[in-house]
Amino acid sequence: MDIRHPIESPTVTEQNPEPQADPRTGLGDPRPMVSVAGEPEAKPAKRSREVGNVALQGLSAYYGSNHAVRGVSLAFDSAKVTAIIGPSGCGKSTMVRCINRMHEEIASARSEGKVLLDGLDLYDPRIDIVAVRRSVGMVFQKPNPFPTMSVIDNVTAGLRLTGASRGELEDRGREALVGAGLWEEVKDRLKGPGVGLSGGQQQRLCIARALAVDPEVLLMDEPCSALDPVATLRIEELIAELKQRVTILIVTHNMQQAARVADTTVFMLDGELVEVGPTDKLFTNPDDDRTEQYVTGKFG
Amino acid sequence: MAPETRTQYQEDLEALEASALGGLDLVSAALGRTMEAVEHQDVELAQLVIADDDRIDGRYLEVHQALITLLATQSPVATDLRLISALLHVLKNVERMGDQCVNICKVIPLTGNEPPADEEMVRLILAMGKQTRTLISQSKRAFEDRNVEMARDLVRQDDVVDNLNRECFGLALEIGDDPDRREWAMTMLLAARAIERIGDNAVDIGEQVAFVVTGLFREFEDASHPSA
């Protein structure tokens, strides 16, 4: 996905959608990830694209003088699930919010260092921030469907900004709902209000909304903390399915959840990266004493 | 760092470790009585050891259940998880060691009131029992201290038991033609074999010590590939 503002060519933004300059054209992949609006053979191309490759280089994040993330360098495995664990205030959410440039939306917040997506620095001034958030989707702690929108409008809200046709909106909306494991439950109430769904369904609706724009990376910040165990299980199963086509980073307080869903687990403490390793290793025989102390519940 | 948490859970886990390892004291006492019963052909004492094995089995069931409850309710990980896994193994070993004492005590009446005992063979078996009790206490201390070197040393100590066992076997071969003496020697070989197995169980506990400390399970000695 090319998320740079083309320097010589006209800038493509949501206000200026031009099919021939679709920012969703695959970078380094001759095949388009998604064809321009209206073309039917979008799906095979989408499957063939690379899954997002995220790396942090010396990433620091601040809230005013508070140094919340301290020089983290880390490469996330592509098409895998990485869990980020650590006590409250350790900087895990902040770190993740730097990856889709949400962090800078907070007054007094700033960051340093690099966030690379497929080798591109997302903090490069030439980067289109809207395209960044399309490439790097995010799901939050509490489900936050748009309250005035129907189920289907919620899912396609992001797509409409890209100027997709009505037919494409319907197709991709349905595809996203299927992908989020929600289609069977909502297919008869697509026009009903999104907030009329149960909490677990609302969260999957938000996942569908994030999936609809075909992100390369999905950030999940405590996605199950407001859900009951059954709804949590549905989301965890969904994560396992989704990781084949999207790189997933999940921030969680629930260490058992990290152990269940993640291929790799990252432990952070006081803004620093303490340990990163295969999940089974980190939970059976961690290298760092602080990891050991945290995962066994001796502090935190 | 935040203040320490989960103190009750940590206390519970420590208590269960003490209880599981305490099973080794029960086994050591049972083996001591078993050796006394062998030495004096004391059938009543042997019956006592057999009856008392219920205590060892009870310890096994009680601690095993409590560990399963901890697994279910506390989701232990890292060292705690390795410790619980190791304790489950240790409990099984303790239970097996107790059963081996019972096996020995069951054969004592078979030898009769005044058996045609070979003094040298009795001496060897008593030496095996003594050495094995040393192994049992060493395995316990190695576990308590998380001392891998001490645990590894169990192999060397166990070699002493194995050698004594071989000597017993040699003596039995040369015990002569008298059917009663031969029967007695065969029975004593069963006892020697049971003691030798108790020593092996102590070495197994040592391997669990290494697992708790390092996170890697390796047999100290691979019986099926001795040269490896």
Question: By the 8 A CB rule, do A138 and A219 touch?
Answer: yes
Q: Which whole number is the average pLDDT over A238-246?
A: 92
B6 at the A interface (CB within 8 A)? yes
pLDDT band at B147 (very low <50, low <70, confident <90, very high): very high
According to the model, what pLDDT value does residue B109 have? 84
Adjacent-strand bridge partners of B57? none
Rounded to two decimals, the ipTM of the complex is: 0.70
Whether the pLDDT of residue B169 is over 80: the answer is yes
Q: Which residue has the higher pLDDT, B166 or B114?
A: B166
According to the model, what pLDDT value does residue A36 have? 31
Among all residues of chain A, which has the CA nearest to that of B72?
A256
B65 at the A interface (CB within 8 A)? no
* Chain B residues inside the 8 Å CB shell of A291: 78
Work out the minimum CA distance from A89 to partner chain B, whole angstroms.
11
Nearest to B75 among A256, A291, A292 (CB): A256
Q: Identify the weakest region by mean pLDDT among A9-13, A92-96, B217-221.
A: A9-13
Task: Work out the angle between the directed axes of helices B179-214 and B7-40 (0-180°, nearest 10).
Answer: 160
Question: By the 8 A CB rule, do A282 and A101 touch?
Answer: no
Q: Identify the weakest region by mean pLDDT among A39-53, A85-99, B43-57, B99-113.
A: A39-53
Question: By the 8 A CB rule, do B220 and B152 touch?
Answer: yes
Nearest to A284 among B9, B74, B77 (CB): B77
User: Do B80 and A296 lie within an 8 Å CB cutoff?
Assistant: yes
Whether the pLDDT of residue A164 is over 70: the answer is yes
B1 at the A interface (CB within 8 A)? yes
* Chain A residues inside the 8 Å CB shell of B75: 255-256
According to the model, what pLDDT value does residue A1 have? 52
Q: Tell me how many degrees the CA angle A58-A60-A62 measures, rounded to the nearest 5.
A: 170
CA distance A195 to A187: 15
CA distance B207 to B228: 16
Fold (topology level) of A19-295: Rossmann fold (3.40.50)
B12 at the A interface (CB within 8 A)? no
User: Do B78 and A298 lie within an 8 Å CB cutoff?
Assistant: no
B69 at the A interface (CB within 8 A)? no
According to the model, what pLDDT value does residue A116 have? 96
B72 at the A interface (CB within 8 A)? no
CA distance B55 to B45: 16
Whether the pLDDT of residue A43 is over 50: the answer is no
Secondary structure string (H, E, C) spanning chain A: CCCECCCCCCCCCCCCCCHHHCCCCCCCCCCCCCCCCCCCCHHHHHHHCCCCCEEEEEEEEEECCEEEEEEEEEECCCCCEEEEECCCCCCHHHHHHHHCCCHHHCCCEEEEEEEEECCEECCCCCECHHHHHHHEEEECCCCCCCCCCEHHHHHHHHHHCCCCCHHHHHHHHHHHHHHCCCHHHHCCCCCCEHHHCCHHHHHHHHHHHHHHCCCCEEEEECCCCCCCHHHHHHHHHHHHHHCCCCEEEEECCCHHHHHHHCCEEEEEECCEEEEEEEHHHHHHCCCCHHHHHHHCCCCC
Whether the pLDDT of residue A18 is over 50: the answer is no
Rounded to 5 degrees, what are φ and ψ at A275? Answer: -155, 140
Q: Which whole number is the average pLDDT over A26-39?
A: 34
Nearest to A283 among B1, B5, B78 (CB): B78
B79 at the A interface (CB within 8 A)? yes
Q: Which whole number is the average pLDDT over A51-64?
A: 95
pLDDT digits (tens, 9 = 90+) for B114-142: 788 899 999 999 999 999 999 999 999 99
Question: By the 8 A CB rule, do B205 and B90 touch?
Answer: yes
Among all residues of chain B, which has the CA nearest to that of A288?
B78
Mean pLDDT of chain A: 84
* Chain B residues inside the 8 Å CB shell of A299: 1-5
CATH class of this structure's domain B7-214: mainly alpha
Q: Which whole number is the average pLDDT over B86-106?
A: 98
| CA of residue A150 relative to chain centroid, distance | 23
Contacts of range B7-12, beta carbons closer than 8 Å, 24 or more positions apart: B9/A297, B9/B70, B9/B74, B10/A298, B12/B66, B12/B70
Whether the pLDDT of residue B100 is over 90: the answer is yes
User: Do B76 and A296 lie within an 8 Å CB cutoff?
Assistant: yes
Sheet holding A66-75, edge to edge: A66-75, A54-63, A109-117, A120-121
User: Do B2 and A299 lie within an 8 Å CB cutoff?
Assistant: yes
Whether the pLDDT of residue A95 is over 50: the answer is yes
Q: Which residue has the higher pLDDT, B225 or B59?
A: B59
Rounded to 5 degrees, what are φ and ψ at A139? Answer: -125, 135
CA distance A82 to A90: 17
Q: Which whole number is the average pLDDT over A268-278?
A: 97
Work out the minimum CA distance from B92 to partner chain A, whole angstroms.
22
According to the model, what pLDDT value does residue A159 have? 87
Nearest to A297 among B3, B6, B82 (CB): B6
A295 at the B interface (CB within 8 A)? yes
Work out the minimum CA distance from A248 to partner chain B, whole angstroms.
24
Of A159, A149, A234, the closest CA to residue A194 belongs to A149
Rounded to 5 degrees, what are φ and ψ at A250? Answer: -125, 125
Burial of A166 (0-12, 13-18, 19+ CB in 10 A): exposed
Question: By the 8 A CB rule, do A23 and A131 touch?
Answer: yes
Question: By the 8 A CB rule, do A102 and A132 touch?
Answer: no
pLDDT band at A46 (very low <50, low <70, confident <90, very high): very low
What sign does the CA torsion over A105, A106, A107, A112 have?
A: negative
Q: What's the token pair of residue B19? A: 């209880």
* Chain B residues inside the 8 Å CB shell of A87: 2
User: Do B76 and A286 lie within an 8 Å CB cutoff?
Assistant: no
CA distance A191 to A156: 12
Q: Which whole number is the average pLDDT over A94-117?
A: 95
* Chain B residues inside the 8 Å CB shell of A256: 75
pLDDT band at A25 (very low <50, low <70, confident <90, very high): very low
pLDDT band at B25 (very low <50, low <70, confident <90, very high): very high
According to the model, what pLDDT value does residue A49 have? 58
Q: Identify the weakest region by mean pLDDT among A4-13, A220-229, B44-53.
A: A4-13
Q: Which whole number is the average pLDDT over B97-109?
A: 95
* Chain A residues inside the 8 Å CB shell of B4: 298-299
Work out the minimum CA distance from A147 to partner chain B, whole angstroms.
38
Q: What's the token pair of residue A204? A: 């999957």
CA distance A80 to A249: 8
According to the model, what pLDDT value does residue B111 have? 74
According to the model, what pLDDT value does residue A31 have? 33
Work out the minimum CA distance from B204 to partner chain A, whole angstroms.
21
User: Do A255 and B4 lie within an 8 Å CB cutoff?
Assistant: no
Three-state DSSP at B25 gives helix
Residue B133, CA atoms < 13 Å, CB-side half-sphere: 18
B9 at the A interface (CB within 8 A)? yes
Q: Identify the weakest region by mean pLDDT among A26-30, A68-72, A120-124, B105-109.
A: A26-30
Q: Which whole number is the average pLDDT over A34-60?
A: 60
pLDDT above 90: percentage of residues in chain A: 70
CA distance A155 to A171: 11
pLDDT digits (tens, 9 = 90+) for B170-215: 999 999 889 999 999 999 999 999 999 999 999 999 999 999 999 9
